[in-house]
């Protein structure tokens, strides 16, 4: 029995400032595989590094930490790095599970701003936010779930 791909992409093109970073990229990703992105100069890797640095700075992750293993970071620093990782690729869909948990008020506000900006760029976000203040800043709709009754 052949397994189905967990992720399929067809004819992806990514432009940076009017230039093609990659063009007509297609792939399938199957369970147990690791797909590594490689590319020549000009294929978009440097732009990704520049964007990563900008996001880490905006999320108040000290530059002295950028080359260290994330295991050495505090919980809040790890959370902010994970948020940067989720936002950097510009995915059209993000699944967020309490992205502002463990963050102080200043960093919660920065994350809320980044979420709003991602939506303004066209991303759809499905998220769990226990913090009402953050929910008020980012939610365009709410889905209220009720506990199920046991029979």
pLDDT in tens, the chain (151 residues): 457 877 777 877 776 666 666 677 787 877 777 776 666 655 556 666 788 889 999 999 999 988 888 788 888 898 998 899 888 888 888 888 899 988 999 999 999 999 999 989 888 888 888 889 999 999 998 887 766 566 5
pLDDT at residue 44, as a whole number: 59
> Is the pTM of the predicted complex or chain greater than 0.85?
no
The pLDDT value given to residue 25? 78
Identify the pLDDT of residue 41: 59
The CA angle 52-63-21, to the nearest 5 degrees, is: 20
> How many Cα atoms sit within 13 Å of 41 on the Cβ side?
0
Q: What is the pLDDT of residue 66?
A: 86
pLDDT for position 45:
60
What is the residue extent of each domain of the chain?
Answer: 1-43
Length of the chain in terms of residues written: 151
Q: Is residue 3 helix, strand or coil?
A: coil
Report the distance separating Cα 96 and Cα 93, nearest Å: 10
């Amino acid at each position: 029995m052949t397994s189905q791909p967990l992720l399929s992409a067809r004819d992806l093109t990514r432009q940076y400032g009017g230039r093609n970073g990659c063009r007509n990229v297609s792939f399938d990703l199957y369970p147990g595989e690791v797909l590594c992105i490689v590319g020549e100069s000009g294929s978009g890797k440097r732009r990704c590094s520049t964007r990563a640095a900008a996001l880490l700075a905006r999320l108040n992750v000290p530059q002295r930490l950028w080359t260290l293993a994330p295991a050495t970071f505090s919980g809040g620093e790890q959370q902010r790095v994970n948020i940067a990782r989720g936002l950097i690729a510009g995915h059209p869909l993000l699944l967020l599970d309490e992205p502002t948990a463990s963050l102080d008020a200043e960093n919660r506000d920065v994350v809320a701003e980044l979420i709003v900006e991602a939506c303004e760029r066209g991303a759809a976000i499905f998220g769990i936010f226990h913090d009402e203040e953050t929910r008020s800043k980012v939610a365009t709709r709410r889905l209220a779930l009720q506990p199920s009754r046991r029979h």
